[in-house]
Structure 1
Amino acid sequence: MDVSQLPGFYAIAAADPGRLAVIDTDGTETSYGELLARVNQVSHGLRARGLRTGDVVAGVLPNGIDAIVMIMATGQIGLYYVPINWHLTASEVAYILADCDAKVVVTGPEQAVPGGEIGTEGLAAGQPTDAPGERTAGAVMWYTSGTTGFPKGVQRRLPGAEPEAIVPLYTWFVGEVVDLRPGAEVHLVTSPMYHSAPCAHAQFALHLGHTVVITPRFDPENILELIERHRVSNAMMVPTMFHRMLRLPEEVRGRYDVSSLRQVIHTAAACPVAVKRQIMDWWGPVLYEYYGSTESTIAFSVKPHDWLARPGTVGRPAPTFEAKIVDEAGMELPPGEPGLIYVKSGLGTFEYRKDPAKTAASMLGEWYSPGDIGFLDKDGYLFLCDRRTDLIVSGGVNIYPAEIEAALLEHPAVADVAVIGVPDDEWGHNVVALVQPAKGVSPGPGLTAELLEHCGPRIARFKHPKVIEYRSELPRTPTGKLSRSKVREAYLSEL
């Protein structure tokens, strides 16, 4: 069936119930009609527990069908849904549940929390499979990672209209940004769905009539096997995944047919230019990139050929967005001058739940800053430098860790790297690189000399690490973000 004129998942499922919706982590297949029936039952079940428009439901769930059911069920009865990272400690989960005022919590068997429902079966039991009455769009409320304090919920005003009235705006937007269109496509979930981008792309896929293939966790060879087996046409990944797949032996990489890929979208962290070039040499010009944050959503985007013409850019402002670069005094800077990035969207604003002061502190009038430093070129393309909080000032000169990390990651002996600034009485900060050697590589003075020589033609000498130390592993989130704050705290505690 041609679904291009149908306004999203609920309409597609009603019109084409036999269409394949989800292939779960264990290979179980669920049709659009079956998924809609369970979604409707859970919507009725939530209403039966007294939840009304604007109330909050939380999910502490592994990747799988239940995570999708909760997003789509809350999304048609005006509820806020809070996905929670199940790697958090019990006290961290308890904090979020209390802060968001969750009235119902759904968990997986291995992620159970006191008072939580195990799976969606209990909510669905005995409930009708037809659509609930008075349907109105809900929203996902994401909790920020909390690297500078307790995490806060990023809350947007509910639209007050049924999903079919607003879904076309979002499918149009994602189509403009990454060329995704309705049809018989296959989307691969590669990351935990308690993070915003993987969750949003699974949701987009269903609203476009695609089939969603879910992985429980990222494994580089398994991803290639799934792409070949299911003829995956689009996926959302992060740069760390590219790096790990490029580390596979040539005979393993050549074993799988990835020619079905048309859009591989990446975000969450800066992608080294060399890594992105190698992936496109392998997969073809299929990498679409966007930059934003939980608060700003997709603020900048770049398509493959535009990136190839301007390597390193994260793109121009996405539709409805404006951008500017400002200095410490809040004055706008000209092209080429690095400063703090600010964006403004026509799609609406956000607030931090229960924290108007934090909301106000993040804004400059109508403009919001994700906290990153970058510059715009003369054509309005953004180039990132680094997080403001990770900036190293050594001898009065600004040094961006991401640039040094990108250079070191080009060396085949480096599996992962974190660059931090360490206080120094003379220089202010020294550059320290903590390197995770590739498998089979022995750390030591010889490797250190080799890495410093490798940096020579790639970055200016004042950016070279003063110290290179070796670690068996570096802390990254499941979506691939490097936690430099944790690395820095651990390093300083050892001094």
Structure 2
Amino acid sequence: MATAPFFATLDAALRHWAGRRPLAVALDDGATQLTFGALQAGVAARAAGLRDAPATVWVGEHASPVEQLVDFLGIVASGRAAAVGDPDWPASVRARVAAAIDDRPAARPPPGPETDFYVGFTSGSTGLPKGFRRTHRSWTESFRVCLDSFGDGAATRVLAPGRLSHSLFLFGMLLGVWTGAGAVVQRRFATQRALDVLADGAAQALVAVPSQLALMLERSARRATARCHAVQLVMISGARWMRHRTGELRALFPNARLIEFYGASETSFMAWTEADPALPDAVVGHPFANVEVSIRALDQPEREAEAGVPGLIFVRSPMLFSGYVAAAVEDDTAALRDRDWLSVRDVGHVDAAGRLCLAGRQKRMIVTQGKNLFPDEVETALLRHPSVAAASVHGIADPLRGRQVLAFIQPASGAAAPTSAALAAWCRQRLEAYKVPRRFIVRDSLPLTASGKTDHASLAAAAHQTADSSGEASPGPQEFPA
């Protein structure tokens, strides 16, 4: 367990370290370094200029990463919530999102544990990002349990190679401020620079999504990059880690704990595990010490599901969000509340060992041949194929089966596209027959979201368009029936 002071608010942590370690580097984006003393001075100046600002203030989107963090922390220190938008939003989306943020005046007292400090955004089925609010306490408790669970490596300098608009990377940046160890940040992920920072020992902890780690492994193999011996902790989240590549990751980071954690923007941490290729694919780990889990019936979320039967995952913890912004549209992707319990509509169960097992998101569930199929399981099986770099599985209309299973495939770098017969045979060895895709569509690359995840939503639209345009679905140039 890592020992570190506990602070009631994020701005209190910065003031503490600015007093104790004013000359230590707090933030480094490769072009600019700020010490804790300089960071606190910049934050105080920004806060002083917000006396008449509303309760929620937007962070500047086109500044450098260090400048953005000064802006963010200045807004927070003023007692307001910092709203972080995605710079890639179209102007029309930006205008609608801005209109959804109320402009009520800020409370005059200084920020406290229950004050909202952050408004982030998550996508919804309406196409309009939903704003979610987080209190200081919801994140200070996240920092506490991170340090308690992940050990001393969590209190070291963190590399957070992504935008503030991705809450995972924002968490990594603020963890470095919270512990006083500092953070190395990137506006956009740069594979070689990330490897250089870690190999040089400029950061001893890394927070990353699986797609970033895959790129680092590929670059490291091609260029015979030196092992990163100084790294003590690798924190993996945002999507399922490809556990069959854990050995490669251990070789690159020989002295690091490799931690997978499961969570969501609305919940923070839910469960975690050490990365282990022997673990069943569905296992996401034991709940964090301050998290309770309840599995509810899919058709009656107010009722507990039978033991071992998949249901909606509800959690109760001090890390839950305080709600969506006032004008947010609560669609079928919005979190469900049952008093102090919350579900982001993920489906799973708790196994005999007390581990949380994740089937997938309820919205993505496919009913085929009268059975429930979760694309995550099929995608995980496909990603184990040595010639597959990315996969996205969907259901399209089928008069016989109800839904027909279709898979988009991105071949691995330097590999020939696998044939549909090979992919189908691979899946049959690992999955029940009804889960094997009937069609495969191979693309040079699959689209990604701003956070680096496979963009399943846009691929779902493409799948339906393919079905609509081809009727019963005769294969196109790169479409192969199994």
**Does residue 1:237 correspond to 2:215, yes or no?**
no
Match of 1:42 among 43, 46, 52: 46
Structure 1 length as normaliser, TM-score?
0.83
Partner Cα distance (1:348, 1:339) in 2: 20
Q: What is the match of residue 18 of structure 1?
A: 23
2:335–2:342 Cα contact (<8 Å) kept:
no
Superposition deviation, residue 312 in structure 1: 4.7
Range with greater deviation from structure 2 (257-266 or 455-464): 455-464
Bigger mean CA offset, 217-226 vs 368-377: 217-226
User: Does the 8 Å CA contact 2:83/2:120 hold for their aligned counterparts?
Assistant: yes
Unaligned runs of 5+ in 1: 105-132, 160-165
Which residue does 1:386 correspond to in 2? 360
CA contact (8 A) 2:157 2:204 kept: yes
Matched to 2:60, the amino acid is G
- 2:149 pairs, out of 152, 156, 177, with 177
Cα distance in 2 between the residues matched to 1:457 and 1:277: 23
Please name the residue that 1:186 is paired with: 157
How many Å apart are 1:283 and its aligned residue?
2.5
Equivalent position of 2:230 in the other structure: 260
Cα deviations by residue, 1:302-350 (Å, 9 ceiling, x for unpaired) = 2457x86666522222232211111222331244321111111234652
Cα distance in 1 between the residues matched to 2:435 and 2:139: 47
Counterpart amino acid of residue 343 in structure 2? S
**Aligned runs of 1:66-215 on 2, under 5 Å?**
66-101=67-102, 135-137=110-112, 139-156=117-134, 169-179=141-151, 185-215=156-186
Whether the 8 Å contact between 2:335 and 2:343 is mirrored in structure 1 is: no
Q: Which residue of 2 aligns with 1:350?
A: 322
Q: What are the Cα deviations for residues 152-199 of structure 1, in whole angstroms up to 9, with x where unaligned?
A: 22124677xxxxxx986553222123335686x221011221111110
Counterparts of 1:386 and 1:167 in 2: how far apart (Å)?
Answer: 25
Is the 1:322–1:343 Cα contact (8 Å) retained in structure 2? yes
Take 2:435 and 2:213, find their aligned partners in 1: how far apart are those partners?
A: 25
User: Which one of the candidate residues 215, 220, 223 is aligned to 2:194?
Assistant: 223
Give deviations 1:430-460, integer Å, cap 9, x for gaps. Answer: 11111122334444xx622222233232223
| In structure 2, C-alpha distance between the alignment counterparts of 1:68 and 1:385, rounded to whole Å | 36
1:186-235 Cα distance to aligned partner (Å, 9 max, x none) = 21011221111110221111110112111232233332122112442111
Partner-residue secondary structure (3-state), 2:27: strand
SS at match of 2:50: helix
Is this contact kept in 2: 1:323–1:341, CA < 8 A? Answer: yes
Partner Cα separation in structure 1 for residue 77 and residue 23 of structure 2: 21
1:357 to 1:320, Cα distance in 2 relative to 1, 3 A: farther
Out of 411, 417, 425, the residue aligned to residue 391 of structure 2 is 417
- Find the partner of 1:448 among 411, 414, 420: 420
Q: 1:489 to 1:346 in 2, by over 3 A?
A: same
Question: 1:315/1:63 Cα in 2 relative to 1: closer, same or farther (>3 Å)?
Answer: farther
Mean Cα deviation higher: 77-86 or 209-218: 209-218
DSSP 3-state at the match of 1:416: strand
State the Cα distance separating 1:236 from its structure 2 match: 0.9
Q: CA separation of 1:357/1:188 partners in 2, compared to 1, >3 Å: closer, same or farther?
A: closer
Report the Cα distance in structure 2 between the residues aligned to 1:216 and 1:369, rounded to whole angstroms.
31
- Does residue 1:481 correspond to 2:453, yes or no? yes
The answer to whether structure 1 residue 301 and structure 2 residue 275 are counterparts is no
CA distance in 1, matches of 2:307, 2:175: 34
Find the aligned partners of 1:264 and 1:16 in 2 and give their Cα distance: 25
Q: In the alignment, residue 403 of structure 1 is paired with which amino acid? A: E
Do the aligned residues in 1 keep the contact of 2:72 with 2:82 (CA within 8 Å)? yes
Once the two structures are overlaid, the 10-residue window that deviates more, 13-22 or 61-70, is: 61-70
Structural mapping, 1:398-409, within 5 Å: 398-409=372-383
What is residue 242 of structure 2 aligned with on the other side?
272
CA distance in 2 between partners of 1:35 and 1:22 (Å): 8
**Residues 94-129 of structure 1, C-alpha deviation per residue, up to 9 Å, x if partnerless?**
11222114699xxxxxxxxxxxxxxxxxxxxxxxxx
* Distance in structure 1 (CA, Å) of the matches to 2:380 and 2:429: 13
State how far apart, in whole Å, the 1-side matches of 2:279 and 2:391 are.
Answer: 28
For structure 2, which runs of at least 5 residues remain unmatched after alignment? 8-12, 470-482
Q: How far apart are residue 55 of structure 1 and its match?
A: 3.9
Q: Do the aligned residues in 2 keep the contact of 1:434 with 1:469 (CA within 8 Å)?
A: yes
Give the letter for the 2:26 counterpart.
A
Which one is further off, 147-156 or 400-409?
A: 147-156
**Paired amino acid for 1:51:** A
What is the one-letter code of the residue matched to 2:203?
V
2:406–2:463 contact (8 Å) kept in structure 1: no
Give the match for residue 436 of structure 1.
410
Deviation at 1:462, TM superposition (A): 2.5
Show the counterpart of 2:53: 51
Letter matched to residue 79 of structure 1: R
- SS of 1:75's partner is helix
Q: Residue deviations 1:330-387, cap 9 Å, x none?
A: 3312443211111112346522222599499721333211111111112321111111
Instruction: Give the CA deviation at 1:33.
Output: 0.9
Q: Which SS does the other structure have where 2:200 is aligned?
A: helix
Residues 19 and 32 in structure 1, CA contact (< 8 A), matched pair in contact too: yes
Partner SS state of residue 9, structure 1:
helix
Match of 1:32 in 2: 36
Secondary structure at 1:480's aligned position in 2?
Answer: coil
CA distance in 2, matches of 1:357, 1:150: 8
Q: CA deviation at 1:280?
A: 3.2
Contact 1:287–1:304 at 8 Å: present in 2 too? yes
